[in-house]
Amino acid sequence: MRWLCLHGRGTSAQIFEMQTARIRQALGPDHDFVFVNGTVATEPDAGAADVASEFFGYLTDGIHGAGRQNYLELWHGLADVVASQGPFDGLMGFSEGGTVAAMMLVGGARHGSGSSFSGFKCAVLFSAAAPADPDVVDTGVVRRLDAADDGALVKIPTAHLWSRHCAPGESQVHQALAQLCEADVRQVCLHGLAHDVPGSKPGDDEGLQGVLKAIERTIESADCA
């Protein structure tokens, strides 16, 4: 199974590879992971400068700060990645990378075989938010998707993983993304870390095991192990 992996803002593909090392090891050798840097240079996230020298994001200034041109360049850039390095079975993203991944999933669900992103069979989203409507690349209107208005747009199995210790407002942001995904094939797992990937810190075995179970169920639901 091949995964496309998108990192958090202010980090890099290299850092996300490090953050997910234990998860990837646990999933085993039948899984291949491709990590892609964002194209927007950013300041480093907390602790990132200790392990890397370059830091990236995918959007110029967050979901609403980015304009149509940024989304257009991002969309075409990711389509090029899928065309040149795919096909991919799974999509994995953390924070801003997870939000961008969700936007790709919505685009694939809406446009089917006409979309570069219709081939994903499942997704794992760490600490991600509801994305902008991918039609921004055509309309120029930046609108955050909302399950109350848009329904469950993503039909493939998804895992949504975030901290049980985050502030109520932040938790609602993550829940909003989960609600955009079909409930029958949706896994939600809360872990004991802060805004981070379980397994990336020593001594987080309990959080790691819970997250792995959610990921494994998602893969099984997608029948792409």
In tens, the pLDDT along 157-213 reads 999 999 888 877 888 999 999 999 999 999 999 987 778 898 877 766 777 899 999
Q: What pLDDT is attached to residue 224?
A: 56
Query: Which CATH number fits the domain 2-222, given the four candidates 2.40.50.140, 3.40.50.1820, 3.30.1340.10, 3.60.10.10?
Result: 3.40.50.1820
What is the SS3 assignment for 124? Answer: strand
Full-model pTM: 0.94
Q: Name the stretches of the chain with pLDDT < 50.
A: 225
Which pair of structure tokens corresponds to residue 148?
């109350």
| Assigned token pair, 102 | 């969700």
CA–chain centroid gap for 94, Å, is 5
Residues 6 or more apart in contact with residue 186 via CB below 8 angstroms: 157, 158, 159, 160, 178
The confidence score (pLDDT) of residue 225 equals 46
Domain ranges of the chain: 2-222
Pair of tokens at residue 150: 């848009």
* Count of Cβ atoms closer than 10 Å to residue 217 Cβ: 16
3-state secondary structure of 194: coil
Tell me how far apart the terminal alpha carbons of the chain are, to the nearest angstrom: 6
- CA dihedral over 92, 98, 104, 107, signed as positive or negative: positive
